[in-house]
Amino acid sequence: MAEPEGGAGFELPLLLFAGFRSIIDELHRELAAHGHPDVRPAYGFALQAVGRDGASASEVGRRLGVSKQAAGKTVEKLEALGYVERVEDPRDGRRKLVRLTPRGTDVLVRSAREFDRVRAEWVAALGAERVTALEADLRAMAPASAFRLDAAGWFTG
């Protein structure tokens, strides 16, 4: 069987993953340097699942595609690190709402800025046209359903 033009098929997912990993590793080095040394990649997904308005632990679990118990453990860890807090739900006093603390909001804001900075580095190295084309190509090839918060669980599930 002839090798596909441009390289072997197995290289594409490895290169995509290596690009993803390099961005995430750079993000976490920067977060650590700015007061967030304990943040792990999966925590970013969990903080996004909590969202601006907060969520119950069950909702966090559904958004992440994990059990309520697994979500509860993640919430406990984030709470111990000061990124979330549990408060009475103003709409239902029988349940607790997981809410971002100012520290949790800070890590998300810093992450967004860092992603923008890394993208700007890619633009500087590759050119805006190539980066824009790469993003458009990836959007065309990746189904909309691929943009989900349960990606962290997908790696270990």
Give residue-wise pLDDT tens across range 57-88: 889 999 988 888 888 999 999 999 999 999 99
Backbone CA torsion sign across 62, 64, 65, 66: negative
pLDDT band (50, 70, 90) for residue 22: very high
DSSP state of 61: H
Q: What is the mean pLDDT of residues 14-34?
A: 94
Reported pTM = 0.82
**pLDDT, mean over the chain:** 88
Backbone CA torsion sign across 37, 41, 43, 49: positive
> Residue 157 pLDDT > 50, yes or no?
no
| Distances from the Cα of 5 to the Cα of 2, 9, 14, 131, angstroms | 9, 9, 17, 22
pLDDT band (50, 70, 90) for residue 147: low
Report the pLDDT value the prediction gives residue 48, as an integer from 0 to 100.
93
